[in-house]
Amino acid sequence: MEKGIVGKKLGMTQVYDENDRLVPVTVVEAGPCTVLALRTMGRDGYSSVQLGFGSRKAKNVSKALRGHVRGAGLEDTPPAVIREVRLDTDPEQTIGDVIAADVFAKGDFVDVRGRTKGRGFQGVVKRWRFGGGRASHGGGWTRRPGSIGMCVSPGKIYKGRKMPGQMGDAQRTVQNLEIVQVRKDDNLLLIKGAIPGANGGVVTVCKAIKK
């Protein structure tokens, strides 16, 4: 990828395009993000740019973090979120540069990475959409997984079996989403379609790798 930005998901709405078609979009508060550190292939083995988004009180962060962001001039207002965006080549930015929403343009395709909503511990019906047992005569169970093992050979449960467990709260990426509008003055990106996470969640928007 060549560029990216960190932002916050605000919610979904719909707008009209130039052909008067109603398009569902997700509104993302993209930046402004300050460049905190640079990673180069020769020194670190990979290329990326470290971005800081948001702000919080200096008294609520460690001295180590305040020292880390001192080079970018953010010692008094440390960023609330720090993310790295991988690059194909060594970064051209310098520490302290500010990246705004206009790093992207209308019509660009992006990949959006976020953390999905946590659903807690769930059974197989909700987690894996199992059908459950029969609801008529002879049905002693309705929402259980059923048989999961074998007899003597091999006498174990294979790994990867779909079972009850933690659902959601995982990092996911949605690829090839089109940017419908860029509102630089408001630091907003209007991205066609849905993106992972709840409203208010942190997302990373990068140039699509498959376009």
What does the domain layout of the chain look like in residue ranges?
4-118+170-207, 119-135+151-168
pLDDT of residue 74: 86
Would you tell me how many other CB atoms lie within 10 Å of the CB of residue 90? Answer: 16
Q: If residue 63 lies in a helix (H) or strand (E), which one and from where to where?
A: helix 63-68
pLDDT of residue 79: 92
CB 108 within 8 A of CB 180: no
User: What are the C-alpha distances in Å from 127 to residues 85, 119, 130?
Assistant: 31, 9, 8
- Please give the average pLDDT of every successive group of 10 residues along the chain, which has 211 residues: 86 91 94 89 90 90 89 87 88 87 91 95 95 81 84 84 94 95 92 94 92 77
pLDDT of residue 133: 84
pLDDT of residue 96: 87
Would you tell me how many other CB atoms lie within 10 Å of the CB of residue 157? Answer: 11
Helix residue ranges, H only, 92-137: 124-128
pLDDT of residue 132: 85
> pTM score, two decimals?
0.83
pLDDT of residue 189: 93
Residue located via tokens 């500010």: 98
Single-letter residue type at 35: V
Distance CA 61, CA 99 (A): 23
CB 69 within 8 A of CB 81: no
pLDDT of residue 115: 95
pLDDT of residue 166: 96
What's the CATH code, domain 4-118+170-207?
A: 2.40.30.10
The beta strand positions in 141-201, using DSSP E, are: 165-168, 171-183, 188-192
pLDDT of residue 196: 94
Tokens for 7?
Answer: 């932002």
Instruction: Of 172, 147, 151, 152, give the one whose Cα is nearest residue 162.
Output: 147
CB 110 within 8 A of CB 206: yes
Report the SS3 class of residue 207: strand
